[in-house]
Structure 1
């Protein structure tokens, strides 16, 4: 019984790792730009489809396809930020929501046109297949790889935010945009770089998620509520908050589906509502 519970928790952590990797970019977008980007999941979907294309059409290995998915989503983010998003930074939240919802459905239609309505599949290399013994239970090698991969990315991201000049500019811009402009920080450039980084992370998260979360044209809409919950509960503009929120969402959702499938996602949403009532500004957020 204990081994079974540990297995569910480990599966939930692997799932949470992917949710965090995709959602952290949205946290930056909402915290730094004050932009309600409901189309953020489209960048994850783009990364997933690019991974599938790189493996099936270009014959690349899975590990080689991951950085390509990152770069593709990052470049796509820069293009869309420069051409479209930037025009709506000063618009109302309603206009931002309507624009990004339209972009969301446009990306879904484009995915159907290019790849068809069905789910995509990839073949993992042999060294990522099979099971390993961990804490008295069995965990798939790919889930263990996902957890380690996201942990390395999270540590690298924490280092960039805490110890580099770019990270200091992001923190300053999130804390007080007017003050950042006043001391000579090019906030517009910081916003572009942050948007590109968040889009790239979402893309590699989508590539990793092909195996665990599935990939079809409905992906950005299917997981939209999850991404928003993680950012809102964790605190927009924070990196640590979304990590904690993703762990809660991933473990609780996995445990709920395993132990009480009849309830569906009720357990997870109920907990999220409770956390929002207790922490109205997010787990690590601050009143604005």
Structure 2
């Protein structure tokens, strides 16, 4: 069927794989954005910079401290998550309860500072981060060649995304997190430390971004600007899925990555804007997003 359209199957499946890889990063970052917005009502414009920071922490850990890739998958989210908790405790908490615009401007300013510091120190060129030896090579599936590392990225992204969804939507801890957002006074009266819970939630959200940066480091070059374009796309994904919808961010992240890959096959000129076209159409039909609820 594909050959009748003049498209070799290898090209089609190769672009679908590329789209699924991009979708894995879209889902991870959009999930972090959805967690932070859905539970804390913060439009975190520093998310892309923290994604970049996660990649740099992994690179610095390997180059300066000899920390290998497998340990970096834990080390990088913990370090960046700790930085995120400090941001929430000493900066974002000061504007809690104020208009959302203040949080947007503050996180945007933080992103510019982080990017400026790393660009000044490391320059704008990319820094290589090697694929671990255990994940080198690939598999010949007959219709396409699947690089082992790409398959690993897809697998861990699916596990982390749906594990997070289960944690927030199906466990008592997730119920406590949602209760602290919806009625913090009553939750505090029940003996729960709401400010600490908020800080941990923000740290968890940015830790997801750092994990995405660590996974991206061996695929893309590690550079200070790597979070700029992906942040814009991830905000579009969150809007399409529904602001604050955990499941919407995950599902639409993967689906829109695949759609982007298909567009590169049939109409490459539109691949950079197809997600934004979908966003406009969804907002015209359902302003709350596909998985969102009207306020």
TM-score (norm. length: structure 2) = 0.89
| Number of equivalences | 287
Q: Are 1:45 and 1:206, in contact at CA under 8 Å, matched by a contact in 2?
A: yes
Q: Are 2:59 and 2:129, in contact at CA under 8 Å, matched by a contact in 1?
A: yes
1:189 corresponding residue in structure 2: 196
1:81 corresponding residue in structure 2: 88
Alpha-carbon deviations, 1:218-272, whole Å to 9, x = none?
Answer: 2232222112112111122222100111023211223333443333512222122
Report whether the alignment pairs 1:265 with 2:272. Answer: yes
Structure 1: distance between partners of 2:242 and 2:228: 21
Q: Are 2:55 and 2:216, in contact at CA under 8 Å, matched by a contact in 1?
A: yes
Q: Which moved more, 1:196-205 or 1:127-136?
A: 127-136
1:38 corresponding residue in structure 2: 45
Structure 2: distance between partners of 1:44 and 1:232: 19
Report whether the alignment pairs 1:177 with 2:220. Answer: no
Give 1:95 shift: 2.1
1:149 corresponding residue in structure 2: 156
Larger Rg: 2
SS in structure 1 opposite 2:19? Answer: helix
SS in structure 1 opposite 2:140? Answer: strand
Q: Which moved more, 1:1-10 or 1:24-33?
A: 1-10
Alpha-carbon deviations, 1:177-233, whole Å to 9, x = none?
Answer: 358537635433322111111111110111111233443212232222112112111
SS in structure 2 opposite 1:110? Answer: helix
CA RMSD between the two structures: 2.1
- Equivalent residue runs for 1:206-225 within 5 Å: 206-225=213-232
Unaligned 5+ runs, structure 1:
none
Distance 1:266 1:206, change over 3 A: same
1:242 corresponding residue in structure 2: 249
1:52 corresponding residue in structure 2: 59
Report whether the alignment pairs 1:125 with 2:156. Answer: no
SS in structure 2 opposite 1:132? Answer: strand
Structure 2: distance between partners of 1:84 and 1:274: 36
2:110 corresponding residue in structure 1: 103
Q: Which of 27, 30, 33 is matched with 1:23 structurally?
A: 30
Q: Which moved more, 1:130-139 or 1:8-17?
A: 130-139
Q: Which moved more, 1:6-15 or 1:225-234?
A: 6-15
Q: Runs of 4 or more off by more than 4 Å in structure 1?
A: none
Give 1:113 shift: 2.7
Structure 2: distance between partners of 1:85 and 1:195: 10
